[in-house]
Amino acid sequence: MFDLPLDSLWLKRLRRWPLGGCMLAAQAALLLYGATHLQRPRDLLLLLVLAAAMSGWAWVHHRRRYLLLQGTPLARIGSAPQGYVQIAGCAQSLDDGPLVCPGVDMRCVWYELVVEEIPAGGRQYQHVQTLQSAHGFLLADATGRCLIDPDSAEIRTTDTVVERKDDYRYTARLICDGDPIYAIGEFVSVREQPVDMKLAVSQKLAEWKQDRADLLRRFDTDRNGEIDEKEWNAARQAAEREVGDETAEAQMQAPANVMRASQDGRPFLVATEDPAAGITRNRRWAWLHLALMIGTLSGTLNLAHHPERIPQRHANSTTSSNATP
């Protein structure tokens, strides 16, 4: 049997490979196994049907992907509708600054780092751990900014850095500040609730009243130790200005738009490649697996109707089994 190292590292790598490539490798392994281990023609035919079903699955998956990428409109952040959209722009770090990817010590907005080590006396690197930043980052275009929540996102990057330090090897996939990126997912505008200015101003004035000395210092213009009606109106106007400034600052600090995983299961993709490249790649995989499915099914039907065309090894197995008393 095949010994596959299905640890967490391999599973993470498997998620990054296109399904079409995974199916192609699995089909090759199945056919190799069938050619070397299976004895009965019927088992070989069943294996061919399974290979065709795998190609059918890959065809549906990649066809759905390229139709989704092709049919989802490319929107501008400032005018994007709520729901499933595609946006493109440049990556930016949040206001607290860029991240630093450990191991390779490079500034970025997102990273995935694979740490491997050569054990004492060994020759091959062994997986130690995989680190991935959970930090969100921004996608910005000329009309606005959008927070990308990387949780559950399928992230494709073209920037990979490998460094070796002592017995360790660090392999990092990075999205750096300024990299062109596109994202397709659920676009949501997280608008702040409208501020009740009257209530906010009243609360601000009540707060100022707690420090009467400071209130008199600021608004008792005639220095008689009391706040008259004119002075109180001036205090109210100052409170309104301060509440307005605080509200505007709060809205500027956090992006009002978020892209996240879709609630209905549609893919959430973030990539540093051209959107057209993703469409082309998925279309090619779809057509390849459609051709493989049709070809495999045609070959299976042909062999089922003409068993004499089955390779000699399997035919001999059938003959010998029938001749056995």
Per the CB < 8 A criterion, the answer to whether 56 and 296 are in contact is no
On whether residue 2 sits in a domain, the answer given is no
Q: What is the pTM of this model?
A: 0.61
10 Å CB burial of residue 199 (0-12, 13-18, 19+) is exposed
Tokens, residue 256: 């009002």
Per the CB < 8 A criterion, the answer to whether 116 and 201 are in contact is no
Based on the structure, what is the number of domains in the chain? 3
47 and 126 fall within a common domain: no
- Percent of the chain having pLDDT more than 70? 84
233 and 267 fall within a common domain: no
Query: Over the stretch 226-284, which tens digit does the pLDDT of each residue have?
Result: 888 888 888 888 888 888 877 766 555 555 788 888 888 888 889 887 777 777 888 88
On whether residue 145 sits in a domain, the answer given is yes
Tokens, residue 46: 């069943």
268 and 137 fall within a common domain: yes
What is the residue range of 22's domain? Answer: 8-68+282-317
DSSP run (H or E) holding 23: helix 19-37
135 and 269 fall within a common domain: yes
Per the CB < 8 A criterion, the answer to whether 172 and 106 are in contact is yes
132 and 269 fall within a common domain: yes
Per the CB < 8 A criterion, the answer to whether 130 and 62 are in contact is no
Spatial separation of the C-alpha atoms in residues 258 and 148, rounded to whole Å: 6
34 and 93 fall within a common domain: no
47 and 88 fall within a common domain: no
232 and 301 fall within a common domain: no
On whether residue 323 sits in a domain, the answer given is no
124 and 225 fall within a common domain: no
Backbone phi and psi for residue 269, each to the nearest 5 degrees, phi listed first: -115, 140
212 and 246 fall within a common domain: yes
134 and 161 fall within a common domain: yes
Q: Between 96 and 268, where is the model more confident? A: 268
Q: Region 168-189: what's the mean pLDDT?
A: 91
Spatial separation of the C-alpha atoms in residues 282 and 58, rounded to whole Å: 10
Query: Over the stretch 77-91, which tens digit does the pLDDT of each residue have?
Result: 888 888 899 999 999
Per the CB < 8 A criterion, the answer to whether 177 and 137 are in contact is no
